[in-house]
Structure 1
Amino acid sequence: MSTDADKRREEDMAVPVDISLSLGEDGDVWIARDEDTGVTSQGPTRQAALENLDEAVAGYHGAGESPTDEELRELGIDPENNESGSIDKSDIFE
């Protein structure tokens, strides 16, 4: 049985603690990085970059839901032929 304290502890794990925040080279975007996980995000304002980082780190820790078949199709992915594989076997990560 989980308690409110357990839920707060789980939520706190997804919130970045050691963060770097910098202005991008072009000066039009802010870049936020969680130094503990290496997760990086960006946004047009500092606040947006930090909010996006919170969401990205939560996803890194497993929060969120798997995309629906319809969402995959909208991205040009055929759910029937979608296979996960090793990064070592991927042409993208050569």
Structure 2
Amino acid sequence: MATSTRENSDHEGEIRLWREEGWWIAKDVETGVTTQGDSRDDALENLDEAVALHRGEIGREPTDAELEASGIDPADNATGDREPPDVLE
């Protein structure tokens, strides 16, 4: 596994990269965001995008019209007071 860190910042900027079962896996240690790709470059590009989404730097919430076009009823598209499933944490 390869690891890259920036100067003594408690994992800020630390990325871990390894190969597993034919995939390259990339993890941003600070956020816990993990992605994969066919190549190292793909995994790292996917990680950059996923971290930006996680931080709210890119992306947006879908509109009700977009949800409806995908067959999702916007009224039923909320977790309410329930905790998200473990897989989403």
- TM-score, normalised to structure 1, is 0.64
In proportion to residue count, which structure has more helix? Answer: 1
Which of the two has greater strand per residue? 2
RMSD: 2.1
Q: Deviations over 1:18-43 (max 9, x none)?
A: 1000001x1x2110000111110111
**Within 2, Cα distance between the matches of 1:82 and 1:69?**
10
Q: Secondary structure at the match of 1:49?
A: helix
Match of 2:28 in 1: 34
Kindly, what percent of the aligned residue pairs are identical? 49
| Deviations, residues 61-82 of structure 1 (Å, cap 9, x unaligned) | 11211123354342x5321321
Question: Residues 1-94 of structure 1: matches in 2 within 5 Å?
Answer: 17-24=13-20, 26=21, 28-63=22-57, 64-73=59-68, 74=70, 76-88=71-83, 90=84, 92-93=85-86
Which protein has greater RCO, CA pairs closer than 8 Å, 6+ apart? 1
3-state SS in 2 of match to 1:23: strand
Normalised TM-score (structure 2)? 0.67
Where structure 2 has 5 or more consecutive residues not aligned to the other structure, the ranges are 1-11
Question: How many equivalent pairs are there?
Answer: 73
